[in-house]
Amino acid sequence: MRADFPVVLDACVLAEAAVSDLFLRLSEEPRLLLPKWSETIWLETRRTWINRLQWNQEIADSRMRAAIEAFPEAMITGYEHVIPVCTNHPDDRHVLAAAIHAKVETIISFNVKDYALDSLEPWGITVAHPGDYLKVLYDHDPAAVTTALHAMADRAGRPLPAMLSRLAWYVRPFSEYVASALAVELADIKPADWRR
């Protein structure tokens, strides 16, 4: 079932490869969401990949370029004049400003605490944890989400329970919810084991 719900994906969501991969797969036809971002969000994502996660610069640039080219309609520009009126955490005001400017009602972020309710209410915007939003998408179209998860598992050469376990490092309630719905058990996989 196609849905065109625009959401701003914060850098912290884009930086987690498995989580962003799932969101981007769910943004392909038949899509369950319309991803939105800004150049500033992508530059923050890139810095995280290179500085915190120790990614090679070429790999980071390639992944960023591929996502931007795959979803050209996702780029939000011209929002900078809105930043001064935003009252959420200073480091994430550019994210809220982009959402306001693009008239997007939902921001997906691991940093929910950086978006106080009183900073969002005047704009009619909500913030959702990626795990919570993925559960909503699963309830909306379980087949589409399951298909995307299988595609991710196949690409990684792993069974579905292993992919759900990898996602559980970041969005455990979602992984447990889907595992229960599909009657599979999460695998006991540590991050170091995934890379083998």
- Average pLDDT along the chain: 94
* Domain range list for the chain: 6-133, 144-194
pLDDT single digits (tens) 49-82: 999 999 999 999 999 999 999 999 999 999 999 9
Q: Is the pLDDT confidence value at 152 over 80? A: yes
**DSSP string covering the chain:** -----EEEEPHHHHHSHHHHHHHHHTTSSS-S-EEEEEHHHHHHHHHIIIIIS---HHHHHHHHHHHHHH-GGGEE-S-GGGGGG--S-GGGHHHHHHHHHHT--EEE-S-GGGS-HHHHGGGT-EEE-HHHHHHHHHHH-HHHHHHHHHHHHHHHT--HHHHHHHHHHHHHHHHHHHHHHHT-PPP---HHHHT-
- The whole-model pTM stands at 0.94
Tell me which fold the domain 6-133 belongs to.
Answer: Rossmann fold (3.40.50)
